[in-house]
Amino acid sequence: MRLYINDLSLSSQFQSPAAFVSNLDDLLRLREGNQVVANCLFCSRDIRLRPVTGGHTFQEAVASTGDKNLIRRVLAWLGKSGPFWDENRQFNADDYFEHSKVDVTDTSLGEAARVLLAGSQANLVSFQSGGFDYKPVSVQHGLPEDVLGTILLDNEWNFANLRRLISSLAPRPVNWDQMLEQAKDRFDFVEFSESSISYLGAEPFSSCVVDRVFELCRVLNEYAELLSIAKGTSERSNEIVTKHFSGEKAWFSDESVTNKRKFSEQMKFNPIGGGDKVSCTWHGKIKSPQYRVHFRWPISHGEKIQVYYIGPKITKS
């Protein structure tokens, strides 16, 4: 699957360079934190010249911040790593495409349309409020006097949804190792110890367990991300704690005092990065079969949630 950044969605819509950079940073963090996204997110080398405010191009807005780290990150992407679709365009014998009566042959809309016509999967990624906050985006193939067809491109303008989009299109795991690899790709704010699934070695593989593990990790990931962005708790993070960490039907809970004493050693794990063993009594619950996801809790601003155990309920009597 390929994602094409819609260069036409940069159309001077931002009120200031800072407003553009805020939106851009969401995309950069997603790209830098997820190798799957980085590998399939294609752009044009000329996107840096697109207007983002009334008086700034993409590159001018970035430069105007004076933020050396931001400039370095953008240069690493647009000056070096890409990937760039215009360096290896998809061939099409009838190479003319329009959108809303405008020639888009040499834009990402044209390239995404060519890729779809060639039988591969292609989606657009648009910056918000640039005239493309909708889906699908229609592209006409062929000259106006000789229309060959219409291509409908799926489009995403909320960068937070990109990870879920890619995850939903990935093949379902068929073993525990694939579950762990996909979990690492999906959840940027959750870390998994290398031994976290070693306890599943003798257990039969279950797609239902995988789905539940992913759902538990999704909540943990959202909480850690919110804490990182807000530099502390927020209304949404407090809502997650109230909904999923308290009450009789809580998804996550601590062990009882009795279980902590009785199973103390079984709930100590080798830490990520080395050092003394870590006690992880907090866990996410899977009812059928009775499995648990043990993780380090609580966390502070800037920390990831560390998962140390996925397997059968440790305190099972």
pLDDT, tens only, 176-195: 999 999 898 888 899 999 89
DSSP class of 51: B
pLDDT at 293: 98
298 cis-preceded (ω within 30 degrees of 0): yes
**Contacts for 21-28 with beta carbons within 8 Å, 24 or more apart?**
21/61, 21/62, 21/65, 21/67, 21/70, 23/127, 23/128, 23/159, 24/62, 24/74, 25/70, 26/159, 26/160, 27/125, 27/159, 28/73, 28/74, 28/77
For tokens 């009450």, the residue is 247
List the pLDDT tens digit at each of the 317 positions of the chain: 789 999 999 999 999 999 999 999 989 988 887 777 788 899 999 999 999 999 999 999 999 999 999 999 999 999 888 999 998 899 999 999 999 999 999 999 999 999 999 888 899 999 999 999 999 999 999 999 999 999 999 999 988 777 667 666 667 899 999 999 989 888 889 999 989 999 998 899 999 999 999 999 989 998 998 888 777 778 888 999 999 999 888 999 999 999 999 999 999 998 887 788 999 999 999 998 999 999 999 998 889 999 999 999 999 85
H-assigned helices in the chain: 17-33, 35-40, 58-64, 68-76, 108-117, 162-169, 176-186, 207-230, 235-244, 257-262
pLDDT at 131: 96
Q: Distance between CA atoms of 232 and 99, rounded to whole angstroms?
A: 44
pLDDT at 151: 96
DSSP class of 79: I
> How many other CB atoms are found less than 10 A from the CB of residue 105?
16
pLDDT at 145: 94
Q: Distance between CA atoms of 314 and 73, rounded to whole angstroms?
A: 44
Q: Is 35 helix (H, G, I), strand (E, B) or coil?
A: helix
Q: Do 12 and 54 touch, CB atoms closer than 8 A?
A: yes
**Contacts for 219-224 with beta carbons within 8 Å, 24 or more apart?**
219/244, 219/251, 219/252, 220/187, 220/189, 220/190, 220/252, 220/284, 220/295, 220/305, 220/307, 221/186, 221/187, 221/188, 221/189, 221/190, 221/305, 223/305, 224/189, 224/190, 224/299, 224/303, 224/304, 224/305
pLDDT at 102: 96
Domain regions of the chain by residue span:
2-161, 171-312
Q: Which amino acid is at 100?
A: S
Q: Do 124 and 6 touch, CB atoms closer than 8 A?
A: yes
